[in-house]
Amino acid sequence: MCAVATATSSLAETPSAPLGLAVIISGRGSNMLAIARACQAGAVNARVLRVIADRDSAAGIAVAQSLGLETAVIPARSFPDKPAFETALAREIDASGASLVVLAGFMRILSPEFTARYEGRMLNIHPSLLPAYKGLHTHERVLAAGDASHGVTVHFVTAELDGGPLLLQARIAVKPGDTAETLSARIQQREHIIYPQVIHWIASGRLRWQDGGPWLDGKALQQPVLLEEEAS
């Protein structure tokens, strides 16, 4: 009896293995950096196994290398078509051993075949309060519409562009005199908080993909968790 009890308790105390991440970028990679730092600091029980860019010019690759992360560039332009590029991208992701694919400023529309392959294990971050303002130039569109607030969303990726189940959003107020640049800067600050947060939820088992949708803390997530701006 005693031996069994000891074995059980030591099992319960064994920390689970870090969640392996493949982070896919096209640009500067500030979200990738925030995620990698959160992992390295132990705030998120995950590890960036590989940072993959779709273009040589992605500045985030040098940033990842400076952190000692493994990197790869799969230049989309050098492939004859999208299926060939996506096959190479999937090969790179799978070779990394990652369990979760993190799109972080990846500027390409993925095919339904690709999104189905990573169903429930691929995240994206989009700079709007989805479902509002799917697509590009969200800050400019928010300003043109005269909206009082704006925000950013982390969601699971499905075949519909910026359309997968919403997980966590952060809202900010649009202030008089705001420009696309000032909005972008404040949105990015929030991005660097909420993206590691969602990965932490998954790494700690709080958030799962089950029965075709997200479940948080044992309940189907019907609408995203909303993080309001702290009063300043």
Active centre residues (catalytic): 126
Binding of residue 224 to ligand GRF (CB under 6 A): no
Nearer to ligand GRF, 30 or 96 (CB): 30
Could you say which of 50, 63, 98, 126 contacts ligand GRF (CB under 6 A)?
126
Binding of residue 141 to ligand GRF (CB under 6 A): no
Binding of residue 86 to ligand GRF (CB under 6 A): no
Q: How far is the CB of 125 from ligand GRF (least distance, A)?
A: 5
Are 36 and 102 contacting, i.e. CB atoms less than 8 angstroms apart? Answer: no
Binding of residue 128 to ligand GRF (CB under 6 A): no
Q: How far is the CB of 165 from ligand GRF (least distance, A)?
A: 17
Binding of residue 27 to ligand GRF (CB under 6 A): yes
Binding of residue 203 to ligand GRF (CB under 6 A): no
- Please work out the total of residues on this chain that contact ligand GRF, with binding judged by CB under 6 A: 14
Q: How far is the CB of 166 from ligand GRF (least distance, A)?
A: 14
Q: How far is the CB of 183 from ligand GRF (least distance, A)?
A: 10
Q: How far is the CB of 10 from ligand GRF (least distance, A)?
A: 40
Structure tokens that stand for 29 in this block: 């990679």
C-alpha span between 86 and 224 (Å, rounded):
29
C-alpha span between 201 and 56 (Å, rounded):
32
Segment lying near ligand GRF (by CB under 6 A), choices 84-92, 120-128, 210-218, 220-228: 120-128
Binding of residue 104 to ligand GRF (CB under 6 A): yes
Binding of residue 31 to ligand GRF (CB under 6 A): yes
User: Which residue, chain included where needed, has tokens 């075709």?
Assistant: 212
- Residue 73: strand pairing partners: 53
* Sign of the CA dihedral running 169, 172, 177, 183: negative
Binding site for ligand GRF (CB under 6 A): 25, 27-31, 60, 104-105, 125-127, 188, 191
